C-alpha cells in the first residue's frame, strides 16, 4: 500500500523563530516527503497567522503540499466561533492562484502520529487512507521521519492536495488507463486551463482528453458509469448554447482530434477532426485554392458547428457547412463506432446534420470543399440616427444582393439617439470593381465612420480570430442569448427590434443574412430544416427571464430558431428549432441510438417525452 508521509509543524509564538519553519519545510521537500502541515492554538491572538505562513512556506519551497489544520481558520473578529466562510474561501482561492494546487484544504484532513511513531505505527495509521504526518522540530526529526517508509512504498499518483479537490460522485481511480495520463481533475496544475469556455465559466469534476476514436469510446464508457453527473462535449469551446463545461461533472474534450487531411484532391474531399478550428482548416485548404464555409469566427471548433448547421460568410454561395458534409464518424452512446453517410447509417447522417450533439461524439468529418480564390472582405462602421430605417434598408439590400455577397449586421443599444452599426461583409469575387459595386449600397445605412475593404483570402479572414493562449479560455458566468429565424426583415420587424434595443435589455444584436444556396437543399434533407428564412438573428442580454419575455413578444415575426445561439432551455424551444415531423423523427432515432439519454446536456431531445412536451 502506498503511504503518504509528511511532517507537522507547530506555529511558533510571537517570540519564536519563524525561519526555522522555512528550514524544516525545505528539508522535508528535499527528503521527498509528501506534506507539510501547520498546527497551532485555535483562536490564538499571538503568533503567526496560518494562512500567511502557508503562503510564505509555499513561496520558499517548490513542490511539497502545504496543509492548514481545520482548527486554524481565523475566527470571527466579532467574537468566538468559526471563521467567516467567505473569508476562508477567498483565502484558499488566493493561495491556489499564487502557488497552484499545493494546498491541502482544511476538510481533507490527515492523521497526526506521535513524535516517536515507528514504521509499523505509521502503516497502521495509513490504513485510513489519509496522509500521515509526524511532528518535527529539527532536521534530525525530518531525516528520521523520511526513513520510516521505504521509497517503493511512497505514492506515485496524485498527492493529497490534488485528491482533496475531487468532486463527489466521480470514480477517479476508475479512469480508463488509456486516458489516465491526460485526464485533468480539479487539483491538477493544468486545471484552470480547461475549466472555462469562450463565454462560460465552469468547474468540471474531470476533463477527459481522448486522442483517438478508441479513446473517445473509452471516455463514453466512463460517462455511462456516471449518469448521475453532468456530461459536456467540447471541441473548440466556443459554444453559446452548449454545455461544454459544467459544475462537478464530466467533460469529454476532443481538442486533440484536430487532424486535417486531403483524401481526394480531384474530388476536393477532405477529412477534418472535430478539435480543429476553422482558422486551422482555412489555412490548410488555402494552398489548394479551396475553402470551406463555416461561421464568422475562425477560433470556433469544427465539432460543434459542423453538427449544428454553420451559417457563415460563404453560406449564400455554397450552402451551410453541413451541406458540404459527405460523411461523419461517430462514437455512439453504447460505445460503438459508426461511419455515417448517405449510404451508411443514412438515418444518423440525416440527424447529425443539425442535431448532432444528441446522438454521439463526432470523431471525424469528411467534407467536399469549394474552390475559392481571393474574396472581398469589408468591415464598415456606420452611425445611424434612425435605426428603424437602417434596419429596414439593410433587409432590402441584403435580400436583393447576389449570392456571392453576404453581409452580417451587428448593433446594440442606441445612445443619445444614435446607433453604431457594424457590417461584416464578404464578396466571393476577385474583381475589385465588382467588390466595390456590391458593397457601396450598404453605405446608405448611416454616416460612414470607419471602413476597411480589402481583397484577400478566406484564410486571412478566419485568421483574424485570436489564438487561445496556454491558459485556455477565460470565460466567466453564463451567457444569456436568444435566437430566431426571420422570413423577412419587414418594416414591422424593424420597428419592434428598434424598440427592443432602446429598452436596454439587449447589448448585442446580430443579423446574419441567409438565402441563396442555403435554400437549394430540400428542407427534409437534413435535421436542420429551416431553409427558407432570409435572416438568422441573435440577441444577447444580462437577464434570461427578462430577455425571454421580450423575445417571446416578438414571436409573431419568427420562424424557428438556431440552437447554437440560444440559451433558453425551456422545452418549447425544441419545437421552434425542429418542425413537428422533424422532431418526431429525431425522437424516434434518439430512442434507437441513445435510449438512456446519455447525451442530454444541451438542447436535449429526450427519448422519454413526446411532442406534447414541446408545445
Higher per-residue pLDDT: 143 or 47: 143
Average pLDDT of the residues in 541-567? 96
- Please state, for a pLDDT cut of 90, what percent of the chain lies above it: 75
Please report the pLDDT score of residue 202 as a whole number.
Answer: 92
Nearest 10 degrees: Cα torsion 563, 564, 570, 573: -10
Higher per-residue pLDDT: 130 or 378: 378
**Per-chain mean pLDDT for the chain:** 91
**pLDDT tens digits along 387-400:** 999 999 999 999 99
**pLDDT tens digits along 454-475:** 999 999 999 999 988 888 998 8
**pLDDT tens digits along 272-285:** 999 999 999 999 99
List of residues 6+ apart from 434 with CB closer than 8 A? 376, 427
Rounded distance, CA 289 to CA 110, Å? 63
Higher per-residue pLDDT: 91 or 35: 35
Higher per-residue pLDDT: 28 or 477: 28
Is the distance from CB of 497 to CB of 516 less than 8 angstroms? Answer: no
Rounded distance, CA 596 to CA 186, Å? 28
Average pLDDT of the residues in 426-433? 97
Rounded distance, CA 351 to CA 308, Å? 10
Please report the pLDDT score of residue 254 as a whole number.
Answer: 98
Higher per-residue pLDDT: 216 or 601: 216
Give the three-class secondary structure for 208: strand
* pTM of the full structure: 0.86
**pLDDT tens digits along 38-69:** 987 655 556 787 778 888 899 999 989 888 86
Beta bridge partners of 513: 535
- Please state, for a pLDDT cut of 70, what percent of the chain lies above it: 91
Higher per-residue pLDDT: 13 or 469: 469
Please report the pLDDT score of residue 151 as a whole number.
Answer: 66
Q: How confident is the model at residue 94 (pLDDT cuts 50, 70, 90)?
A: confident
Rounded distance, CA 387 to CA 133, Å? 70
Q: Which of 13-17, 74-78, 264-268 is predicted least confidently?
A: 74-78
pLDDT at 2 over 80: no
**Identity of the highest mean pLDDT range in 51-60, 164-173, 313-322:** 313-322
List of residues 6+ apart from 552 with CB closer than 8 A? none
Higher per-residue pLDDT: 155 or 349: 349
pLDDT at 366 over 50: yes
Please report the pLDDT score of residue 241 as a whole number.
Answer: 85
Q: Please check whether the domain covering 374-577 is classified as CATH 3.40.50.720.
A: no
- Centre a 10 Å sphere on the Cβ of residue 474 and count the other Cβ atoms it contains: 14
Is the distance from CB of 231 to CB of 361 less than 8 angstroms? Answer: no
**pLDDT tens digits along 194-224:** 999 999 999 999 999 999 999 999 999 999 9
Rounded distance, CA 270 to CA 290, Å? 11
Q: How confident is the model at residue 351 (pLDDT cuts 50, 70, 90)?
A: very high
pLDDT at 73 over 50: no
pLDDT at 363 over 50: yes
Please report the pLDDT score of residue 547 as a whole number.
Answer: 97
Please report the pLDDT score of residue 611 as a whole number.
Answer: 62
Average pLDDT of the residues in 289-300? 96
Higher per-residue pLDDT: 174 or 615: 174
Task: State which H helix or E strand residue 48 sits in.
Answer: none
Amino acid at each position: 500500500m502506498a503511504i503518504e508521509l509528511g511532517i507537522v509543524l507547530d506555529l511558533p509564538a510571537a517570540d519564536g523563530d519563524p525561519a526555522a519553519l522555512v528550514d524544516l519545510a525545505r528539508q522535508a521537500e528535499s527528503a521527498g516527503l509528501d506534506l507539510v502541515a501547520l498546527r497551532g492554538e485555535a483562536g490564538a491572538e499571538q503568533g503567526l497567522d496560518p494562512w500567511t505562513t502557508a503562503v510564505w512556506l509555499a513561496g520558499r519551497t517548490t513542490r511539497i503540499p502545504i496543509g492548514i489544520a481545520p482548527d486554524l481558520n481565523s475566527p470571527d473578529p466579532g467574537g468566538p466561533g468559526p471563521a467567516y466562510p467567505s473569508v476562508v474561501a477567498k483565502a484558499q482561492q488566493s493561495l491556489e492562484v499564487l502557488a497552484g494546487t499545493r494546498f491541502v484544504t482544511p476538510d481533507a484532513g490527515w492523521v497526526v502520529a506521535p513524535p516517536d511513531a515507528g514504521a509499523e505505527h505509521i502503516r497502521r495509521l495509513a490504513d485510513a487512507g489519509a496522509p500521515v504526518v509526524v511532528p518535527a522540530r529539527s532536521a534530525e526529526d525530518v531525516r528520521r521521519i523520511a526513513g520510516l517508509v521505504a521509497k517503493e512504498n511512497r505514492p506515485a499518483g496524485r498527492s493529497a492536495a490534488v485528491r482533496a479537490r475531487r468532486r463527489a460522485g466521480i470514480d477517479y481511480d476508475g479512469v480508463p488507463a488509456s486516458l489516465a495520463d491526460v485526464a485533468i481533475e480539479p487539483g491538477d496544475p493544468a486545471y484552470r486551463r480547461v475549466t472555462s469556455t469562450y463565454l462560460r465559466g465552469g468547474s468540471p469534476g474531470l476533463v477527459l482528453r481522448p486522442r483517438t476514436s478508441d479513446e473517445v469510446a473509452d471516455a463514453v464508457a466512463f460517462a455511462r458509469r456516471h449518469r448521475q453527473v453532468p456530461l459536456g462535449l467540447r471541441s473548440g469551446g466556443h459554444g453559446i448554447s452548449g454545455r461544454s463545461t459544467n459544475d462537478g461533472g464530466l467533460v469529454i474534450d476532443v481538442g486533440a482530434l484536430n487532424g486535417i487531411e486531403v483524401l481526394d484532391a480531384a474530388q476536393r474531399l477532405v477529412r477534418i477532426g472535430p478539435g480543429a478550428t476553422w482558422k486551422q482548416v482555412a489555412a490548410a485548404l488555402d494552398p489548394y485554392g479551396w475553402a470551406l464555409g463555416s461561421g464568422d469566427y475562425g477560433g470556433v471548433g469544427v465539432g460543434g458547428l459542423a453538427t449544428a448547421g454553420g451559417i457563415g460568410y460563404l453560406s449564400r454561395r455554397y450552402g451551410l457547412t453541413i451541406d458540404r458534409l459527405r460523411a461523419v464518424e461517430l462514437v455512439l452512446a453504447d460505445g460503438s463506432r459508426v461511419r455515417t453517410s448517405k449510404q451508411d447509417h443514412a438515418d444518423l447522417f440525416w440527424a447529425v446534420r443539425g442535431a448532432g450533439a444528441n446522438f454521439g461524439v463526432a470523431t471525424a468529418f469528411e467534407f467536399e470543399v469549394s474552390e475559392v480564390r481571393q474574396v472581398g472582405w469589408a468591415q464598415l462602421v456606420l452611425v445611424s440616427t434612425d435605426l428603424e430605417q437602417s434596419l429596414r434598408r439593410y433587409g432590402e439590400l441584403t435580400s436583393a444582393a447576389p449570392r456571392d455577397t453576404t453581409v452580417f449586421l451587428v448593433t446594440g443599444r442606441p445612445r443619445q439617439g444614435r446607433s453604431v452599426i457594424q457590417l461584416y461583409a464578404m464578396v466571393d469575387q476577385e474583381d475589385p470593381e465588382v467588390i466595390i459595386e456590391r458593397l457601396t449600397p450598404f453605405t446608405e445605412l448611416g454616416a460612414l465612420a470607419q471602413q476597411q475593404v480589402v481583397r484577400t483570402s478566406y484564410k486571412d479572414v478566419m485568421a483574424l480570430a485570436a489564438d487561445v493562449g496556454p491558459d485556455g479560455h477565460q470565460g466567466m458566468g453564463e451567457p444569456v442569448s436568444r435566437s430566431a429565424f426571420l422570413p423577412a426583415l419587414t418594416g414591422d420587424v424593424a420597428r419592434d427590434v428598434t424598440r427592443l434595443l432602446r429598452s436596454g435589455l439587449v447589448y448585442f444584436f446580430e443579423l446574419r443574412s441567409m438565402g441563396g444556396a442555403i435554400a437549394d437543399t430540400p428542407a427534409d434533407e437534413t435535421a436542420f430544416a429551416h431553409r427558407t428564412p432570409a435572416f438568422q438573428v441573435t440577441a444577447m442580454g444580462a437577464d434570461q427571464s427578462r430577455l425571454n419575455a421580450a423575445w417571446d413578444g416578438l414571436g409573431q415575426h419568427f420562424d424557428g430558431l438556431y440552437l447554437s445561439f440560444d440559451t433558453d432551455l425551456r422545452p418549447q424551444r425544441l419545437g421552434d428549432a425542429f418542425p413537428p415531423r422533424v422532431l418526431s423523427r429525431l425522437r424516434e432515432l434518439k430512442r434507437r441510438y441513445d435510449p438512456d439519454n446519455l447525451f442530454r446536456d444541451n438542447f436535449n431531445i429526450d427519448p422519454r417525452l413526446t411532442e406534447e412536451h414541446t408545445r
